[in-house]
Amino acid sequence: MGECLSICCQATMETALEGHTSLVTFALSLFKHAAPYLVLYLGLQKRIGHNKDTKDPEAKEDPEEKEKEKENPLSVERSLPPPSVDRPVPSPEVNGKVRGLFVGINYVGMKAEITGCCKDVFMTMGILESKGYKFTERIILVDNDMFSNRTAAPTRANILGHLSLFVQDLKEGDVLFFHYSGHGTQVEASSDTEEKYDQCIVPSDYEEKGCITDNELFEILVKSLPRGVRLTAVFDCSHSGTMLDLPYAFVCSNPGDGNDTCSMRRIREGNDVEGDVLMISACADGETAMCVDNMQDFNGGAKHCGGAASYCFASMLMNDREMSFRELLLTARSMLGEHGFTQVPQLAASKDINLQQRFSLTGLFPCAKTLP
């Protein structure tokens, strides 16, 4: 970790000598060296019964997507504009418990093996704590037993069980943060009339036990949240645009236009809840999450890559100025688009939030409309 920070600081000092310093560029360098992984395309999965042993579903790579990844590297040599100076971000104020649930899965020894997801969630925890978010309760589910402070392995049963505990005994003023880094996939929807496919996260034992669908995540993580509780969820995986089945999403009627044509719109009837839930995801439901490729080699040869959602989230956290909900997402989309990425980061919420208000991980939503 020390070597990684040293490298990133060196890169930041070099840009400073050229006349500008960008915390966004620093965040990019940090995640490129400390969170090296590429979320591969698993393909459409078969729905697996919870208590049935079934054979391994075929995991096929999409040749076209693989070519796109090669054609769209993110070069840190192309300078990013330094963030404008505005009011500094105030320290987070929390009146209740602060719970964190972090899931990182490398799928060690499996066909779907990737690298860096475990480091990714630990890096996110470190950045959050450095910004003043002090967890009173923390759950860590990773498939790397070298991390001595992990809670358990990220199996299907463990993820579902800890999600249930995560939302128990909550009261007004409590704050929750959930981070998932690993594979995302789709299965044919069995009961959801709103969509053809269910979006899924992929536990470490998915070959035997199956995936966890967006319907399950909504029922366990979102549905029971009481009024006055804030949940922020970050999904760094493919097919994650509606991973929590939230009723509102940031929608642009004219792609690429970040002005009046973009707003929070209802995309799903029902699923209204009392709690304030914000979800940031790597891409839309029909997209795969590409890596942020490290084209500027500070380490003498090795190329690494980090997930786009983690990169954007880190940039937001490390940018020491206030940003609105609208500015947060449009900046993330613009940064990736300018560097050749086709995936589009998504923002969804449980309520029709006021996009012009200051973004926060702890405060309740400034709503255009509220539940009765």
The winner for highest mean pLDDT among 39-48, 96-105, 356-365 is 96-105
* Band (142; pLDDT cuts 50, 70, 90): very high
* Band (196; pLDDT cuts 50, 70, 90): confident
Lowest mean pLDDT among 87-91, 121-125, 186-190: 87-91
222-281 pLDDT per residue, tens: 999 999 999 999 888 876 667 888 889 877 766 554 455 777 789 888 888 899 999 887
> Alpha-carbon distance 274 to 351, whole Å?
9
309-359 pLDDT per residue, tens: 666 676 667 776 777 877 777 777 776 666 666 666 778 888 888 888 888
Over residues 351-368, the mean pLDDT reads 80
* Band (166; pLDDT cuts 50, 70, 90): very high
Over residues 70-77, the mean pLDDT reads 29
Which of 114, 119, 124 lies closest to 39, judged by CA?
114
Higher pLDDT, 284 or 372: 284
87-97 pLDDT per residue, tens: 444 456 678 99
* Band (221; pLDDT cuts 50, 70, 90): very high
Residue-level pLDDT at 299? 25
> Alpha-carbon distance 248 to 25, whole Å?
31
Going across the sheet that includes 212-213, the strands are 184-188, 197-201, 212-213
Instruction: Choose which CATH entry (3.40.50.12660, 3.40.190.10, 3.90.1300.10, 3.30.420.40) describes domain 2-349.
Output: 3.40.50.12660
* Band (150; pLDDT cuts 50, 70, 90): very high
Over residues 174-180, the mean pLDDT reads 94
Higher pLDDT, 81 or 26: 26
Residue-level pLDDT at 148? 79
| C-alpha neighbours within 13 Å on the C-beta side of residue 324 | 10
Over residues 185-203, the mean pLDDT reads 78
Percent of the chain whose predicted confidence (pLDDT) is above 70:
56
**Helix (H), strand (E) at residue 234:** strand 230-236
Above 90 in pLDDT, residue 372?
no
Both structure tokens of 153: 């392995």
At residue 349, the 3 state secondary structure works out as: strand
Which of 297, 292, 299 lies closest to 313, judged by CA?
292
Which of 125, 69, 110 lies closest to 202, judged by CA?
110
Question: Is the overall model pTM greater than 0.95, yes or no?
Answer: no
